[in-house]
Amino acid sequence: MVVASPNSIQTEKIVSINLPTIDLSKERATVAKLIVKASEEYGFFNVINHRIPQHIIDNMEEAGFDFFAKPASQKAKLASNYDSVRLGYGCKNIGFNGDVGEVEYLLLNGSASHISKISTTISNDPSNFRYRVVSAYRDAVEELACEILELMAEGLGVPNTSIFTTFINHPDSDSLLRFNHYPPLPPSLAFGDHSDPQIITLLRSNPVSGLQISLQHGLWIPVLPDPKAFSVNVGDLLQVMTNGRFVSVRHRAVTNSEKARMSIAYFGAPPLNACIVAPPEMVTPERPSLLFRAFTWAEYKKATYSLRLGDTRIDLFRN
Ligand code: GA4
Ligand code: GA4
């Protein structure tokens, strides 16, 4: 009898589907509709012609690779001065509840003010070059996230089109930036199945495959890395704020046996005290009542961190 190890990945459940790629240079109303459709159907899409300059992306990737190439002791030391337990460098340790994976990461607070604060305490780079690299990337990706969120509001027909963006471009937003580095290893699970708790995630990776998204439970679709694209996924809070119209997509990462993969994720989140609730326009004849009760991001985050990586925390907030 063959007993699957907890880390084995079941290849028979992997299906190939062309996931939506949305060209942001096309006519605005059309783009808005396509984004809404992809967010309803998959909770996931790629965007091209995003106008983020290539050098901003390249410099950020180089910063990440330089960091992960340092000796383990140095990595731990460099990133150990963060003022929060979760932020900084970690290896194989995904969650507080024993969730592990074949991944090492550097998790940074993604708010502009915080990056400048950290740079004066942990930076080992007197010219502040990395600080500028990280901030330029952060600014660019946040702007892109805001553009996408505005298009979503337009496509949904919400009159206040800054309803989602005001959360993530707020000075106290709890957004995060995360570098994930997956060393080449025989096929196994590198980052377990989960959804992102925040509003929206924008992800970049070097041209090595590994990301998979889930449609129905147990069916996995590989995302082909596209150097021209950013991948966008709907987070739990956006599912709540669209009254369940958009789906917070479950995803995971598997190892690649030949090449190292590095992804950089921006998680757009509201301030901790922000109240999360669907606007009245999201209550429609198809969705006549609010599916989720109002809660603060602090409340939601607390629930997230008290559970295991793959647990569905959104259900705790259903009406
Ligand atoms: C998944 C998405 C982001 O990487 C992350 C992760 C977070 C963490 O690493 O601190 C979590 C995970 C993520 C969801 C469940 C909890 C929290 C690890 C974990 C077991 C930074 C996030 O915001 O949620
Ligand atoms: C980014 C990744 C690594 O290059 C680094 C950088 C560090 C530095 O001192 O150069 C930081 C940057 C990096 C994250 C936020 C802070 C610290 C510059 C900066 C603005 C070495 C690291 O550990 O974090």
DSSP letters, 165-208, are HHHHTSTT---EEEEEEE---SS-EEEEEE---SSEEEEEE-S-
Q: CB atoms < 10 A from the CB of 99, how many?
A: 17
Which ligand is nearest to the Cα of residue 304, counting in written order? 1
- Please tell me the distance from the alpha carbon of residue 211 to that of residue 250, in angstroms, as a whole number: 11
Ligand 1 mutation pick, 305, 308, 313, 316, max ligand atoms within 8 A of CB = 305
Length of the chain: 319
CA of 186 to the centre of ligand 2 (A): 30
pLDDT at res. 80: 67
Check residue 126 and give its pLDDT: 63
Q: So what's the pLDDT on residue 10?
A: 57
**pLDDT score recorded for residue 123:** 63
Told to judge if 245 belongs to the known catalytic residues of this protein, a careful annotator would answer no
Q: In this structure, which ligand is nearest to the CA of 101?
A: 1
- Domain with 56, as residue range(s), is 7-317
pLDDT tens for the 319 residues of the chain, in order: 333 444 556 555 888 888 999 999 999 999 999 999 999 999 999 999 999 999 999 999 999 999 999 998 888 877 665 656 578 888 888 887 888 899 999 998 887 777 766 666 666 666 677 888 999 999 999 999 999 999 999 999 999 999 999 999 998 999 999 999 999 999 889 999 999 999 999 999 999 999 999 987 678 999 999 999 999 999 999 999 999 999 999 999 999 999 999 999 999 999 999 999 999 999 999 999 999 999 999 999 999 989 999 898 999 999 9
Ligand nearest to the CA of 297: 1
Kindly state if the Cβ of 88 falls inside 6 Å of ligand 1: no
Q: Give a yes or no: residue 184 inside a domain.
A: yes
Q: Specify if 85 maps to a domain.
A: yes
Work out the widest C-alpha separation in the chain, in whole angstroms.
Answer: 59
What integer pLDDT is reported at residue 164 of this predicted model? 97
pLDDT value at residue 130: 83
Q: What CATH code is carried by the domain that includes residue 185?
A: 2.60.120.330
CA of 240 to the centre of ligand 2 (A): 34
What local confidence, expressed as pLDDT, does residue 235 receive?
98
CA torsion through residues 110, 113, 119, 121, sign: negative
Looking at ligand 2, which residue's alpha carbon is closest to its atom 13? Answer: 130
Q: What pLDDT does 3 receive? A: 37
State how far the Cα of 62 lies from the Cα of 7, in Å rounded to an integer.
30
Whether residue 186 lies inside any domain: the answer is yes
Rg (CA), the chain: 19
In a domain, 45, yes or no: yes
From 261, 308, 313, 318, active-site residue: 261
Q: Is 17 a domain residue?
A: yes
DSSP code per residue over 257-316 = SSS-EEEEEEEE---TTPEE---GGG--SSS-S-SB--EEHHHHHHHHHHS-TT--GGGG
User: Which pLDDT score, from 0 to 100, does residue 97 have?
Assistant: 81
2 found inside a domain: no
Q: Is 43 in the pocket of ligand 1 (CB under 6 A)?
A: no
Residue 1 lies in a domain: no
Within a domain: 81: yes
Judge if the beta carbon of residue 94 lies within 6 A of ligand 1: yes
pLDDT of residue 96: 77
* Distance (Å) of CA 192 to CA 56, 89, 188, 243, 247: 29, 18, 10, 26, 19
pLDDT at 84: 60
* Total domains, the chain: 1
